[in-house]
Copies of this chain bind each other. A is one copy, B any other.
Amino acid sequence: MVNGLCAFPLTPLNQRGIDEAAFIRLIERLVAAEVDSICVLGSTGNYAYLSRAERARVIQLAMQHAGHIPAMAGISALTTKDVLDLAQDAQQAGAGAVLLAPMSYQKLTADEVFGLYETVAHALSVPLCVYDNPGTTHFEFSDELHGRIAQLPNVASIKIPPVPTDPEAAKARVDRLRALIPSHVSLGISGDVCAATGIEAGCETWYSVIGGLFPHTALSITRAAQAGDSQTAAKLSAQLESLWALFRQYGSLRVVATAAEILALAESPCLPAPLQPLTGQARQQLARVLEPLSLR
């Protein structure tokens, strides 16, 4: 798995389905900015709302336009059978790695989640990133379970949920997990708000939502944090506080999707119903936040 900034682009939709032109534009922005890697069909890429055929098409488009940037694809689904099918599709389309969350309807047990990863890991021929996102999967990994899964073949990274905002507490959290997983398995931070803190705490990768839309902005934070310049990284991140506040209030997906619409990078609405982009005052507030930030 590639260290640094892994950018998660939206999969913009329109009345006809996937807005391929808009999606390709987003990928091209990431390539031009030279992000370290791209992950399509993450939560920001709306994987959960797309059909198998749509997902295969998204990966195909990403591989056609990602150039030399390594690309990973989400393969999560509610059944092990569907995950295996999606893994096969992703590999056939040329994805360099896959991302797997324990998506759930019925609350899953630790044994069931281990069983899912065990089956899928053994079936893969590319690296696997374990996607730990309790906000959408409603599954809480224990560190012990992460340790067990990290021993499986092909497991190469863990995308962890936000770390504490306090740098020492963040480092303690990352150290605790790091002690339980093999050294060849990298840790990556999710939750853009705490990305700088996460990298300084020892995460090798930032699995980034804003990186998918504003790669230069995300790269500035990443490079400062990677260089150990925690002051600059923290300052750059703090400059986006008005955006992070909207993330907290409306969820990062609705905010970046609406930002893409405002910037004419996607049609409106670009989210799959029943999800709705921001409207009315919230949308105006986002437009007011975006303007002075000059994100790119």
Interface, chain A (partner B; CB < 8 A)? 43, 48-49, 78-81, 102-103, 105-109, 111-113, 115-116, 119, 135-136, 138, 251, 253-254, 272-276
Contact = CB atoms under 8 A, between A and B. Distances in A.
B79 A49 contact: yes
A106 B253 contact: yes
A105 B274 contact: no
A111 B276 contact: yes
A80 B274 contact: yes
B274 A115 contact: yes
How many copies the complex holds: the figure is 2
Given A78-B272, A80-B274, 8 more contacts: A48-B105, A48-B106, A106-B275, A107-B251, A111-B276, A112-B273, A112-B276, A115-B276
Nearest to A113: B274
A108 B78 contact: no
25 contacts: A43-B106, A48-B78, A49-B78, A49-B79, A49-B105, A78-B272, A79-B273, A79-B274, A80-B272, A80-B273, A80-B274, A81-B272, A81-B273, A106-B251, A106-B253, A106-B275, A107-B135, A108-B275, A112-B273, A112-B276, A113-B274, A115-B273, A116-B273, A119-B273, A138-B138
A81 B136 CA distance: 21
A267 to B, nearest CB: 16
A164 to B, nearest CB: 22
Nearest to A102: B274
B251 A105 contact: no
A276 B110 CA distance: 11
Contacts of A254: 106
A4 B80 CA distance: 37
A49 B82 CA distance: 9
A271 to B, nearest CB: 9
The residue in A81, A105, A112, A276 that gathers the most chain B C-beta atoms within 10 A of its C-beta is A105
Contact of A108 (B112, B119, B138, B274): B274
Contacts of A109: 276
Contacts of A272: 78-81
